[in-house]
Amino acid sequence: MSSSLDLFCEALESIHAEGKNIVVFTGAGVSTLSGIKDFRSSDGAYSKPFHGRCVEDILSLDTFRHEPDLFYAWAKEFCYCLDRFQPNIVHKMVAHLEEKSYSRGVMTQNIDVLHQAAGSKHVLEIHGSPSKHHCLKCRQSYSYEEIAPKVMASELPKCSCGGIIKPDIIFYGEQLNERVLSACVRESESCGLFIVLGSSLVVQPA
């Protein structure tokens, strides 16, 4: 194991010395070490129906528009108790790579903001983040801190205009953020090494 680690460190040094960028891409497997369930394993978030509904259906934009209460009931244990979890050694290692200028940041499929908690400064959140929310009617913005207590109290978040408040995560049937996607493509095309951690890379579109 140590020889493999030595070779990896040598590769990082070589690529860094050549002035090439290292790209780190992370998925749900990284955060399982922090106690957060992944989605597609045998005991993951998708493994059991919720209130008789397939979780992938609950996470569709169309379902959210018509039944936001269903999403928020499910999301209590997955998106609105993030203060229970701490970054693990992988999050810290990724942050260290950025701190030492081996990488310019991290691309992640995760929505748990643990990379930021570990110290990463430049995080491209491909699937969005619950850090911010917005009203689907008037576009008013809300913070996680404003919304989480209401969700945990089983209260449906409503905007002052009466509109539905949606977290800024990417639902099924919703387009990826073009700015984030373009930044990911630029970083990937210019890198000297692409490191994938905790992802099977089978989720479409990213």
Cα–Cα distance measured from residue 33 to residue 91, given in angstroms and rounded to the nearest whole number: 10
| pLDDT given at position 6 | 72
CA 174-110-139 angle, 5° bins: 45
| pLDDT given at position 83 | 87
In a domain, 61, yes or no: yes
134 classed as catalytic:
no
**pTM for the complete prediction?**
0.88
| pLDDT given at position 4 | 65
* Mean pLDDT, contiguous 10-residue spans, the chain (206 residues): 66 80 93 86 75 93 97 93 92 93 94 97 97 97 97 96 97 95 94 90 62
Q: Out of 16, 91, 115, 127, pick the active-site residue.
A: 127
In a domain, 159, yes or no: yes
Per the structure, the count of domains in the chain is 1
CATH of the domain at 65: 3.30.1600.10
Please name which of 28, 75, 79, 81 lies closest in space to residue 51, comparing C-alpha atoms: 75
| pLDDT given at position 114 | 97
Please name which of 1, 22, 25 lies closest in space to residue 12, comparing C-alpha atoms: 22
In a domain, 121, yes or no: yes
| pLDDT given at position 1 | 46
Q: Which domain holds residue 168?
A: 25-197
